[in-house]
């Protein structure tokens, strides 16, 4: 009997999956192509510092994004930091609190105060009206984020930036290969940044990139990426080491070659989730617009706050079943250090983000799960929501008493990612 509460693994039943199903399980491309490329790296004895594979990867990324310049980096966080430097930002920069903490950290690491603007609960992206309200004489820029690959309100943000003489940068870590209103992500603002981390749609183990159509900006970003070196012995300014290695580019190029396959799998998975979750009271699948190109790398549900089973209850139920769903992005960055301690609590009131951060749950997708897995996950969600309040009460009582079946579930301090 899989119908009763007793059958849930969280209450002592057998887990639905015998091994974990992950969010962000890396999509691997063609292994032979990867290995051949790595052999080439070794044969050339050229491992990093602007090698041929990095150059090829930069050209391929620029082509997808439809921009003139791509500056590949060792990860997405360094791409942000270098873009922030190259843009000459200082003082305060307005950004969203509902993002991975790398977004505000990249600003703060440069001595800039990230000023959080609350989100629009319908789009999960920053609300432009909040942004404009927060501009002060110290504001130098706006850093938007295309959460889940759904473009943030780029036209409104660009208009605000123009009106106030600010620079607009976009953290497009989730949005490589996505479009908005017929334009590819990559060409918005002064520059955009990608992440090619292992968990991303296209991955280079670790990696990132800055893309722009601005020649002078690209030149500055290249200098900053390489210690400020303009030539062998000429340093033009402060720089860092943000270079991508040849092995990373080998993976990135191989991953890129399988892009169409990854998109097809993600779209098929998303459709299976949409069908499987349809009509479950209290569960809403976060939609993508069919008119935009989307990679559907993130399958996110909102668990209705008034439902008998909360998001956190469902999270615990799923983890016990070996479905390692993630509470991206909980809590909002404004509740993380150092921002929580450094900033005026009044300025950290983010009711929409707080509400969203207790409702969203990201489910496994990508090439690491198949349609049978998804059917099983949807069945678990349906049965858990149907079990409702009694199940929630048992799960909460048990979490408080820490019964061993919950050993795999991180406590509330987790969910940093």
Q: Supply 19's token pair.
A: 């091994």
Distances (CA, A) of 298 to 58, 274, 314, 325, 363: 25, 13, 18, 11, 8
CA angle 282, 288, 290 (to 5 degrees): 130
Nearest approach in angstroms of CB 24 to ligand T4K is 3
Which of the ranges 16-24, 226-234, 302-310, 335-343 carries the binding residues for ligand T4K, by CB under 6 A? 16-24
Min dist. Cβ of residue 295 to ligand T4K (A) = 13
Distances (CA, A) of 307 to 189, 280, 310, 390: 40, 11, 6, 12
318 lies in the binding site for ligand T4K (CB under 6 A) = no
26 binds ligand T4K (CB under 6 A): yes
x/- binding map, residues 326-365, to ligand T4K, per CB under 6 A? --x-------------------------------------
Cα 11 to its chain centre, rounded Å, is: 32
CB 17 within 8 A of CB 321: yes
Question: Distances in Å between the alpha carbon of 389 and those of 134, 153, 386?
Answer: 41, 38, 9
Candidate residues 27, 173, 269, 310; the one interacting with ligand T4K per rule CB under 6 A: 173
Minimum Å gap between C-beta 327 and ligand T4K is 10
> How far apart are CB 415 and ligand T4K at their closest, in Å?
8
Name the nearest CA neighbour of 377 among 267, 262, 277, 265.
Answer: 277
Contact call for residue 204 and ligand T4K (CB under 6 A): no
24 near ligand T4K (CB under 6 A): yes
DSSP symbol at 24? T
Q: Does 190 bind ligand T4K (CB under 6 A)?
A: no
Site for ligand T4K in 109-148 (CB under 6 A): 145
Residues forming contacts to ligand T4K in the complex (CB under 6 A) are 22-26, 75-77, 99-100, 102-103, 145, 171, 173-174, 195, 197-199, 208, 324, 328, 416-417
């Amino acid at each position: 009997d899989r119908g009763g509460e007793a059958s849930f693994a969280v209450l002592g039943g057998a887990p639905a999956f015998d091994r974990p199903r992950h969010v962000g399980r890396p999509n691997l491309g063609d292994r032979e192509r990867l290995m051949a490329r790595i052999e080439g790296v070794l044969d050339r004895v050229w491992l990093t510092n602007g090698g041929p594979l990095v150059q090829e990867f930069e050209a391929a990324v620029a082509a997808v994004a439809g921009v003139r310049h791509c500056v590949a980096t060792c990860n997405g966080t360094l791409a942000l930091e270098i873009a922030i430097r190259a843009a000459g930002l200082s003082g305060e920069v307005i950004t969203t609190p509902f993002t991975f903490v790398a977004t505000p950290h990249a600003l703060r690491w440069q001595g800039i105060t990230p000023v959080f603007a609350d989100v629009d609960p319908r789009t999960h992206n920053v609300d432009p009206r909040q942004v404009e309200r927060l501009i002060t004489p110290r504001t130098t820029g706006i850093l938007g984020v295309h959460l889940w690959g759904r473009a943030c309100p780029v036209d409104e943000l660009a208009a605000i930036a123009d009106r106030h003489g600010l620079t607009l940068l976009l953290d497009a870590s989730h949005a490589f290969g996505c479009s908005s209103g017929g334009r590819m992500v990559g060409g918005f603002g002064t520059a955009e940044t990608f992440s090619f981390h292992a968990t991303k749609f296209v991955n280079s183990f670790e990696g990132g990139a800055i893309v722009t159509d601005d020649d002078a900006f690209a030149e500055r970003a290249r200098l900053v990426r390489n210690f400020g070196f303009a030539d062998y012995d000429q340093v033009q300014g402060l720089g860092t080491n943000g270079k991508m290695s040849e092995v990373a580019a080998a993976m990135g190029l191989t991953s890129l070659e399988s892009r169409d396959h990854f998109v097809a799998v993600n779209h098929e998975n998303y459709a299976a989730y949409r069908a499987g979750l349809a009509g479950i009271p209290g569960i809403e699948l976060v939609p993508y617009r069919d008119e935009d190109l989307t990679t559907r790398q993130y399958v996110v549900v909102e668990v209705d706050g008034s439902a008998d089973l909360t998001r956190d209850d469902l999270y615990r139920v799923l983890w016990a079943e070996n479905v390692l769903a993630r509470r991206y992005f909980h809590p909002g960055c404004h509740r993380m250090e150092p921002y929580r301690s450094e900033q005026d609590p009044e300025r950290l009131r983010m009711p929409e983000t707080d509400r969203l951060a207790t409702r969203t749950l990201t489910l496994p997708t990508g090439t690491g799960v198949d349609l049978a897995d998804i059917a099983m996950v949807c069945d678990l969600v349906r049965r858990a929501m149907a079990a409702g309040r009694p199940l929630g009460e048992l799960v909460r009582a048990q979490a408080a008493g820490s019964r061993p079946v919950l050993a795999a579930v991180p406590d509330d301090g987790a969910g940093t990612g």
